[in-house]
Structure 1
């Protein structure tokens, strides 16, 4: 007499706690020290349009001004310590490094770079490692050029850029 033995295999699904999301490969929300959404237009420090107008007024002149003086002239409060330019090419790790915001997660970072049409980006204001406010800019309407400087501080002297209607950090 022949004996037949059967072997059954069972597949078990085990959830992964704290894993990255499949679609974006970004850390799960519980791994973030905070989340900041660039689509939120809360003007905690003051009016974005007044800040933009002050930048343009100083850029049209011949003298420079400290960034803190520009924000104060726009009627802003002093609740910030650095400004970081956020462009379409900005990576989250680089942003956290420049902004001094370790572990911060970001939503709605700019995606339109200069090859896709008018470039879009933000000036991000940060205070004590927390994002406070953003001011958006687009294409050639960008009033402040920060590129390559990392973060600007309140004491950064901004001067009119030669042959442009914008400001840049003094050399």
Structure 2
């Protein structure tokens, strides 16, 4: 059979899984010799492209920052367990202090009035805008946001304050969370990054809150 036989050329083309493409001068390869010359060139080009994509992918993966990990056990902010005491009682005590315009008190006195245990030593504030850097600074530990499930979300209404949680810690570990919602929660951190049992609260008549100082 002649090298230029069209039926044989079509079979060679299909076996190689390709489509006949023009040569550099714009013509279609028409015989076996031209096809055999073009095929290795096409394969070399495909291999080079694959290696380029693989190297590019490796560089992209190397540049991606690693996600923060939790150095301890993950704590669920939505947990219903109350090892320190009922959250509703603590909220009630603070609301009552506002209603009675209590001039001054401490956080230890407030938690005691709520019937809470004293097995905690620090309280931090977790809101939707919290970052790992803020969390580490306020908790005085290496805790990250990865250490918490059920983090606060942003309110769909920009005019409303997003709910937030106060987390009671003991030796740097989360023990219990209390959620506060509404436009003006009765417990206010004031300018404090964290609270301790000795933190003083004063009634703020302008904002009608118990404000830490």
Band the TM-score falls in, shorter-chain normalisation: 0.7 to 0.9
- The 3 A distance-change label for structure 1 pair 32 and 141 is same
Higher relative CO (CA 8 A, sep ≥ 6), structure 1 or 2?
1
Distance 2:182 2:190 in 1: 14
Distance 2:132 2:79 in 1: 18
Structure 1: tracts of 5 or more residues without a match:
none
Aligned residue for 1:53, secondary structure, equals: helix
TM-score after normalising by structure 1: 0.77
1:42 aligns with 2:81: yes
Q: Which has the larger radius of gyration?
A: 2
Deviations 1:101-131 (A, max 9, x none): 3044222221225726342111111111101
In angstroms, what is the RMSD of aligned CA positions? Answer: 2.9
- The 3 A distance-change label for structure 1 pair 123 and 103 is closer
Aligned equivalent of 1:131 = 174
Shift of 1:147: 4.2
The structure carrying a bigger strand percent of its residues is: 1
Shift of 1:156: 0.6
Native 8 Å contact 1:37 1:107 kept in 2: yes
1:142 aligns with 2:171: no
Distance 2:128 2:204 in 1: 23
Deviations 1:28-73 (A, max 9, x none): xxx3112222222321210001111111222233331110111011
Aligned equivalent of 1:26 = 67
Aligned residue for 1:167, secondary structure, equals: strand
**Aligned residue among 143, 154, 175 for 1:112:** 154
Aligned residue for 1:134, secondary structure, equals: strand
Give 1:1-171 correspondences, 5 Å limit. Answer: 26-27=67-68, 31-34=69-72, 35-59=74-98, 60-104=100-144, 105=146, 106-112=148-154, 115=158, 117-170=160-213
Aligned residue for 2:158, secondary structure, equals: coil
Structure 2: tracts of 5 or more residues without a match:
1-32
Distance 2:190 2:202 in 1: 14
The structure carrying a bigger helix percent of its residues is: 2
Native 8 Å contact 2:191 2:212 kept in 1: no
Q: Which moved more, 1:160-169 or 1:120-129?
A: 160-169
Native 8 Å contact 1:82 1:154 kept in 2: yes
